[in-house]
Structure 1
Amino acid sequence: MTQRATQRPEGFKKPAHWSDAPPPAPAAPKDEADPDGLSPTRYGDWVKKGIAIDF
């Protein structure tokens, strides 16, 4: 079994765009009003030609 590298090769330089800062926290979801009623992606029902379809 090959051992996993735990150190960078000698002479490796970190690119300027790399950061040691942790990633930002995800933004809270926006609660937008659905003009057609209940959101099908939230409730799982889609209406096509007046018929509700459930995937």
Structure 2
Amino acid sequence: MTQRATKRPETFRKPAHWSDAPPPKPEAPKDQQDPDGLSPTRYGDWVHKGIAIDF
């Protein structure tokens, strides 16, 4: 079994566009009214070409 590298090679230099800043915090979801009724993301059912599918 080959061991996995745990450090970057000594010759590695990070690209200029990389930042040390932490990623931004995600925004809170906005509560929206569903104009068609029940939201498929809430109940897990989707309609594809007239057929309700669940995945």
TM-score class, shorter-chain normalisation, is 0.5 to 0.7
The question of 1:8 aligning with 2:32 is answered no
Q: Percent identity?
A: 63
If you compute each CA radius of gyration, which structure gives the higher value, 1 or 2? 1
Cα 1:15–1:35 shift into 2, 3 Å: same
Residue 26 of structure 2 aligns to a residue whose secondary structure is coil
The answer for unaligned runs of 5 or more in structure 2 is none
Instruction: Give the C-alpha shift of residue 33 in structure 1.
Output: 0.7
The residue type equivalent to 2:3 in the other structure is T
Equivalent pairs counted in the alignment come to: 49
Give the direction of change, closer, same or farther, for the CA distance of 1:4–1:31 in structure 2 (3 Å limit). same
Unaligned runs of 5+ in 1: 48-52
**Structure-2-length-normalised TM-score:** 0.56
CA RMSD of aligned residues (A): 2.7
Cα deviation code 1:4-31 (max 9, x no counterpart): 2424323x32211100011111111111
What's the CA shift for 1:32?
1.0
TM-score (ref. length: structure 1): 0.56
Q: 1 CA distance for matches of 2:4 and 2:33?
A: 54
